[in-house]
Amino acid sequence: MAQRRLRLGMVGGGRGAFIGAVHRIASRIDDRWELVAGALSSDPERARASAEDLNIAPDRAYSDFREMARAEAARADGIDAVSIVTPNHMHAEPAIAFLEAGIHVICDKPLAATPEQARRIAEAVNGAKARFILTHNYTGYPLIRQAREMIERGELGEIRLVQAEYAQDWLTESVEKGDNKQAAWRTNPEMAGAGALGDIGTHAFNLLSFVTGLRCESLLADLQSFGAGRQVDDNGHVLLRFGGGARGMLWASQVAPGNENGLRLRVYGTKAGIEWHQENPNVMTFAPLGEPKRIVTRGGAGLGGGAGRWTRIPPGHPEGYLEGFATIYTDAADLIGGVGDGALLPNIDSGLEGMWFIEACQRSSGAGGTWVAR
């Protein structure tokens, strides 16, 4: 355990923003972080007002993230890490500024809006002493980590099939034409880089790799934009081939009515299969071949004996999105505090994998649905 709470800064996440507030709650759950500085909005007045809402001292409420990086690096009590919760095209500049200032970076996904921006972040990470963590937060769910351990131990046998999907419905109609600002930048190709594929497909792709340890070697994608006049994909079907011969499918959609945050993973090996659904994350189905299916809960030492290490309250009391996110923050605090090796934390490599996935899908679909290899 670190001797003190780590000091956190935030770029983005001001009034009216979505994920910044989730990061703030998640960072506090295990009492390891305190928010002390921010450049919370691209609009200076909103940045100031948002900082006031959060009790950030006026001299640490910045209107510009570059000024924040310089000023915080110069303070004896400067921030240990910064959370970057801006739209995708605005990850690279702040990430590089803080890494160059020697400040750890906790950045939301996808890594960037373009491969060029991603490459520049990776260069900065390689040249920095500071750490870079990417919040593929679903890797923080206890049963996801348990599933990974079970597969590592060979409880599923040799993995043959992986089915991953992340389906939502909130872009079924062209809400970006109204005043939904989250929809507006997500459907702007310059700001988002990709549509459903980048926004949620990268989560599914990251999750399947995290759980199975498989590396996708080639893929074939069929991307679609159903929204009238929409310039980014809002639905994608992808076939995946993995090293070692396993096969997979990934579906990402934001136009599937009835789906809220339908992230689902199914993995089948020669000995058993597992199934997990984000909307009911405290249970997982484990089906050994030829035996009755078992429901594995989050808390029981049970099969893997793993999930209990990442839970906070007794089984049967639901934990979910915020707690999974908190585990990323707590692991990050450990890593920064010199405890553990951060092996379970998504990092720059996870981000670059996501960027490969997006680029390969766009290339495949653009060519009419051809196989694209590494």
By beta-carbon proximity to ligand NAD, the closer residue of 150 and 234 is 234
State in angstroms the smallest separation of the CB of 39 from ligand NAD. 5
Q: Is 137 in the site for ligand NAD (CB under 6 A)?
A: yes
> Considering only residues 88, 114, 117, 278, which one is a binding residue for ligand NAD as defined by CB under 6 A?
88
Which of these, 177, 197, 199, lies nearest to 186 by C-alpha position?
199
Q: Is 85 in the site for ligand NAD (CB under 6 A)?
A: yes
State in angstroms the smallest separation of the CB of 186 from ligand NAD. 8
Binding to ligand NAD in span 19-38, by CB under 6 A? 19-20
Q: Which stretch binds ligand NAD (CB under 6 A): 80-88, 213-221, 247-255, 291-299?
A: 80-88
Task: Please check whether residue 243 is in contact with residue 177, taking contact to mean a CB–CB distance below 8 angstroms.
Answer: no
State in angstroms the smallest separation of the CB of 152 from ligand NAD. 25
Number of residues that bind ligand NAD (CB under 6 A): 25
State in angstroms the smallest separation of the CB of 50 from ligand NAD. 7
> Considering only residues 6, 17, 92, 105, which one is a binding residue for ligand NAD as defined by CB under 6 A?
17
> Considering only residues 39, 92, 118, 130, which one is a binding residue for ligand NAD as defined by CB under 6 A?
39
> Considering only residues 8, 9, 12, 68, which one is a binding residue for ligand NAD as defined by CB under 6 A?
12
Q: Is 11 in the site for ligand NAD (CB under 6 A)?
A: yes
Record the tokens describing residue 97, joined without a space.
């500024």
By beta-carbon proximity to ligand NAD, the closer residue of 41 and 327 is 41
> Considering only residues 41, 117, 146, 282, which one is a binding residue for ligand NAD as defined by CB under 6 A?
41
Q: Is 65 in the site for ligand NAD (CB under 6 A)?
A: yes
Q: Which stretch binds ligand NAD (CB under 6 A): 6-14, 119-127, 144-152, 331-339?
A: 6-14
Q: Is 346 in the site for ligand NAD (CB under 6 A)?
A: no
Helix pair angle (142-152, 321-336), 10° resolution: 70
> Considering only residues 13, 193, 269, 306, which one is a binding residue for ligand NAD as defined by CB under 6 A?
13
Binding to ligand NAD in span 96-125, by CB under 6 A? 108-109
Q: C-alpha angle with apex 330: 28 to 155, nearest 5 degrees?
A: 135
SS in 3 state form for the chain?
CCCCCEEEEEECCCCCCCHHHHHHHHHHHCCCEEEEEEECCCCHHHHHHHHHHCCCCHHHECCCHHHHHHHHHHCCCCCCEEEECCCHHHCHHHHHHHHHCCCEEEECCCCCCCHHHHHHHHHHHHCCCCCEEECCHHHHCHHHHHHHHHHHCCCCCCEEEEEEEEECCCCCCCHHHCCCHHHHHHCCHHHHCCCHHHHHHHHHHHHHHHHHCCCEEEEEEEEECCCCCCCCCCEEEEEEEECCCCEEEEEEECCCCCCCCEEEEEEEECCEEEEEECCCCCEEEEEECCCCCEEEECCCCCCCCCHHHHCCCCCCCCCCHHHHHHHHHHHHHHHHCCCCCCCCCCCHHHHHHHHHHHHHHHHHHHCCCCCEEC
By beta-carbon proximity to ligand NAD, the closer residue of 18 and 366 is 18
From residue 161 to residue 200, what is the string marking binding to ligand NAD with x (rule CB under 6 A)? --------------------xx--x-------------x-
Interface residues toward ligand NAD, by CB under 6 A: 11-14, 17-20, 39, 41-42, 65, 85-88, 90, 108-109, 135, 137, 181-182, 185, 199
